[in-house]
């Protein structure tokens, strides 16, 4: 069952986005979300920042609508959490949830992505 990012401190009328509850996150969905190079790039940026980032803080060589699609896939599959702060949509990696459900998965994927980027001369 999806949950939302509304907290007790969120004023009524604030926008919120649906996220899967921790117990509803499935490995196949996470792997699907991480399989796309642009989505993996987003996850790498969020992991490196170790804090929430605005969508615009992560440069992707695709259109704005395609960026929106990638962020939505990551959110709907439980990889990231998105919340509005004022007019900004902030993104954070759901590391604690993913580490509890799939220990070592995110660290291994990030390590592999870093090795691949080095091998291919990216970033």
Mean pLDDT of 98-114: 97
State residue 25's pLDDT score: 97
Return the bridge partners of 54, or none.
90
Q: What is the mean pLDDT of residues 84-98?
A: 92
- Please give the mean pLDDT across all residues of the chain: 88
DSSP symbols for 49-89: HTS-EEGGGS--SS-HHHHHHHHHHHHHTTSEEEEEETTEE
At 19-78, the pLDDT tens digits run 999 999 999 999 999 999 999 999 999 999 978 999 888 989 998 899 999 999 999 999
3-state helix, strand, coil in the chain (%, to 5): 50, 15, 35
């Amino acid at each position: 069952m999806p949950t939302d990012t509304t907290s007790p401190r969120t004023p009524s009328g604030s926008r919120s986005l649906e996220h899967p509850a921790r117990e509803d996150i499935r490995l196949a969905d996470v792997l699907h979300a991480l399989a796309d190079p642009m989505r993996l790039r987003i996850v790498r940026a969020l992991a490196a920042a170790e804090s929430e980032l605005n969508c615009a803080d992560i440069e992707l060589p695709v259109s704005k609508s395609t960026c929106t699609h990638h962020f939505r896939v990551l959110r709907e599959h439980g990889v990231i959490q998105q919340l509005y702060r004022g007019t900004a949509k902030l993104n954070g990696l759901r590391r604690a949830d993913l580490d509890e459900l799939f220990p070592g998965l995110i660290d291994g994927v990030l390590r592999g992505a870093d090795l691949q980027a080095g091998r291919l001369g990216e970033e």
